[in-house]
Amino acid sequence: MLQHVFGYPEFRGSQADIINSVCAGQDALVIMPTGGGKSLCYQIPALARAGVGVVISPLIALMEDQVNALKELGVRAGYLNSTLDANTAWQTENALREGEIDLIYIAPERLIQPRTLALLQQSPIALFAIDEAHCVAQWGHDFRSDYLKLNILHEAFPQVPRIALTATADERTRAEIISRLSLENAQQFIAGFDRPNIQYRINQKNKPKLQLLDFLQSEHKDSAGVVYCLSRKKVEETAEWLCTQGFHALPYHAGLPAATRASNQTRFLREESVIIVATIAFGMGIDKPDVRFVVHLDMPKSIEAYYQETGRGGRDGEPATALLLYGLEDIVKLRQMMASSDGNDNFKRNEQQRLNAMLGLCEITSCRRQVLLRYFGDTLVNPCGNCDNCLTPADTWNATEAVRMALSCVYRSGQRFGASHMIDILRGSENEKVRQFGHQALSTYGIGKHLTINDWRSIFRQLVALGYLDVDPDGYGSLRLTEPCREILRGEKSIELRRDKAPEKARATRKVMADIGDEDLPLWNALRKCRKDLADEHGVPPYVIFHDATLKELLSKKPLTDVELISISGIGDRKLEAYGEAFLDVIREFEYRGEM
Ligand code: ADP
Ligand code: ZN
């Protein structure tokens, strides 16, 4: 089935073990990172076992595409959710009763209706797959109350194996899934957390629009991606601006009319090279496998959020880039937001700790992936080689003297001002505010002229991130000294800081992932066009025809016959039959043209 239906030569990770276990009628709990290949773990058993495989998923926006993708593989699939009109739903139910469906996707609220349960009682069932199983966790951010009722499956269908799947791996969620879904007897399959194909990069923010433009133009001219911003206003501005720069960018945030949101999301899925500029409202439910980059123009408030958002890149296993631009202003903004939220003190303390962990990730000079994985309780023994710190090791410098100047400036001006005013004093600026407060008279006035504004910004940012300075959540970003400052001010401790990379240097990480060479571009574009035409003809997104990985293999192997074609990963029997000729024609044309 793996070869003939799905076109893959071998299983990944523990797929084979999971499939064997479910085929044998065992319950399973599967924790695997995004893009790890969870779907096959229930799709193959559903086909192999008698009866229909029932997949429960909260992501109703995706069901149609998922089902269409299966139909393209020749699998008899269907779905039931609130988006279907009564007639289509009736037809699907009928097909189910007649045993004409091998895989059916059902929204949880639909499944627990007595009517649906009665329908299922009439048909033999191969298995229940509970996708996004972390939605059952009450304290998680994706909690769905309908998921709590899924326990009924265990009671009503004790014979049918259940497989619960999620990418959220922390222990608490896992325990909650097991107890709420009565999966005590399930075999557990827990894969590592790593997403090796995602390249993590974190740079200081310095003219972010231009940084974004530079990044897109030099690395992702033609790719689909997501750009996250904190505010709706910034989302709209950024999307508009990208359009004026020749990119196909669309905004997405909760304040847009539902129809606009839906249409922008559909265009992102269906068309190629669309950039979505979004607040975090854009996320769950985006299963597009070929997202090539995720850029954060504002810092996420925790490592959890960062990992989840960047995790939307590269689900197809192909290289993807995660770029975060951050600066002191992000810390100030997030601290203010937290202070003014209505959670209790305990909640706020928690949030603060999460933010500090995120800041730690931003400032470290060693491998980012090691820190990320350690945060989730996973270990990576060696540096990854695919993050900015591994690719262009960060410089540090002994900043003790400058730090003393900075701290003493904060102290002498009364701990009531933000970083830019401190920098003005240190650099001896004669502006209005400096004069108004008589700060020319301070002993720290003008003592820091040897460093640039950017150097000082970097110093203040790191002092906050490292906990030597505190940002007052008063709304002005005033800086205050903290306890650990004492040692430095007293001259008992020296301090090393990271030297922020100049943009040119940060750029040196580019091209590490070998992409399409110039000589291959014409064929690549022709293959993409062929894929897009077929996708439009079939009314599906291009990746449903072939993933990028398959297209790249076509490009490198240039098959000329069916036999060569079927050996390519992602081409099974049905796709060979449906699309083989079209792609062979494209390749032949190029090959033979080359010979003439
Ligand atoms: P998840 O649900 O875990 O995020 P998917 O099931 O969507 O991941 O799989 C991610 C990608 O990997 C898909 O494009 C899928 O076709 C591909 N894939 C899954 N299993 C294999 C395999 N054994 N060989 C090659 N590609 C695979
Ligand atoms: Zn690394």
What is the CATH topology of the domain spanning 396-499?
Arc Repressor Mutant, subunit A (1.10.10)
Segment 259-288, tens digit of pLDDT: 999 899 889 988 889 999 999 877 765 678
Residue type, 168: T
Min mean pLDDT across 41-45, 58-62, 71-75 is at 58-62
Alpha carbon 140 to its chain's center = 17
Expressed in angstroms and rounded, the spacing between residue 36 Cα and the centre of ligand 1 is 6
| Cβ(8) – ligand 1 distance below 6 Å | yes
Instruction: Look at strands 469-471 and 479-481 and give their pairing.
Output: antiparallel
The phi-psi region of residue 418 (left if phi > 0; otherwise alpha if psi is between -120 and 50; otherwise beta) is beta
| Cβ(40) – ligand 1 distance below 6 Å | yes
Structure tokens of 389?
């710190």
Nearest CA to ligand 1 atom 17: 37
Structure tokens of 99?
């045993």
| Cβ(428) – ligand 1 distance below 6 Å | no
Map tokens 């906990």 to a residue: 467
Q: Which residues neighbour ligand 2 (ion) by CB within 5 Å? A: 367, 369, 383-384, 387, 390
> Among the atoms of ligand 1, which is closest to the Cα of residue 38?
3
| Cβ(36) – ligand 1 distance below 6 Å | yes
In what side-by-side order are the strands of the sheet with 125-130?
77-80, 103-106, 52-56, 125-130, 162-166, 28-31, 187-190
- Classify residue 157 by burial, with Cβ atoms within 10 Å: 0-12, 13-18, 19+: middle
| Cβ(548) – ligand 1 distance below 6 Å | no
| Cβ(482) – ligand 1 distance below 6 Å | no
Instruction: Look at strands 274-278 and 395-398 and give their pairing.
Output: unpaired
Rounded Cα gap, residues 499 and 330, in angstroms: 19
Homologous superfamily assigned to 516-592: HRDC domain (1.10.150.80)
| Cβ(9) – ligand 1 distance below 6 Å | no
SS3 310: helix
Nearest CA to ligand 1 atom 19: 37
With the most atoms of ligand 1 within 8 angstroms of its CB, the residue from 39, 543, 552 to mutate is: 39
Both ends of the chain: CA-CA distance in Å? 41
This prediction has a pTM of 0.81
Residue type, 375: Y
Least Cα distance to 140 among 284, 286, 355 occurs for: 284
Cβ pair 221, 343 in contact under 8 A: no
> How would residue 510 be classed by pLDDT, with cut points 50, 70 and 90?
very low
SS3 101: coil
pLDDT at 595 over 60: no
Neighbours of 393 (CB within 10 A): 12
**No. of helices (H) and no. of strands (E), the chain:** 28, 17
Expressed in angstroms and rounded, the spacing between residue 557 Cα and the centre of ligand 2 is 31
Segment 316-340, tens digit of pLDDT: 888 999 999 999 989 888 888 888 8
User: What is the domain partition of the chain in residue ranges?
Assistant: 15-190, 198-393, 396-499, 516-592
What is the CATH topology of the domain spanning 198-393?
Rossmann fold (3.40.50)
Expressed in angstroms and rounded, the spacing between residue 297 Cα and the centre of ligand 2 is 21
- Is the CATH number of domain 15-190 3.40.50.300? yes
> Among the atoms of ligand 1, which is closest to the Cα of residue 36?
3
Residue 592: CA atoms inside 13 Å, Cβ hemisphere, count?
Answer: 7
pLDDT at 503 over 70: no
Rounded Cα gap, residues 580 and 531, in angstroms: 11
Rounded Cα gap, residues 586 and 568, in angstroms: 16
Q: What is the mean pLDDT of the chain?
A: 90
Check for a shared fold between 15-190 and 198-393. Answer: yes
Nearest CA to ligand 1 atom 10: 35
Segment 145-189, tens digit of pLDDT: 899 999 999 999 999 999 999 987 677 888 999 999 999 999 999
